[in-house]
Amino acid sequence: MPFGETKDKRKYDLNNCPFCGSVVLKIMKRASDEFPEITPRIVSYYVSCENCGACGPPGLDVEGAASLWNRCIPRPDPIKEAIKRNRNDPK
């Protein structure tokens, strides 16, 4: 791994990125622009992978974002799946 684990990764026990396996993960904070009349702004948190740019689902707090990230399951790559199937079942 070219980069070490981030503090957030260790602190919140985040799983490696489900897309690229990276451990360079950061919890980001985002203030919603959708309802500017509501103050304070609605704030959400999400885990972001610094390596591939993947973002986890937004949570209302850091712990929520971390647990949503840890439940992320990468979608299987349809091409890789087809290759695997061909190998297991040659015609």
**Residues within the interface to Zn ion (CB under 5 A):** 17, 19-20, 22, 49, 51-52, 54
Is the Cβ of residue 19 or residue 72 nearer to Zn ion in the bound state?
19
Strand partners for 43: 31
Shortest spacing between CB 16 and Zn ion, in angstroms: 8
Contact 40, 27 (CB under 8 A): no
Shortest spacing between CB 41 and Zn ion, in angstroms: 28
Shortest spacing between CB 40 and Zn ion, in angstroms: 31
Half-sphere exposure of 38 (CA within 13 A, CB side): 8
Place of tokens 């503090």: 7
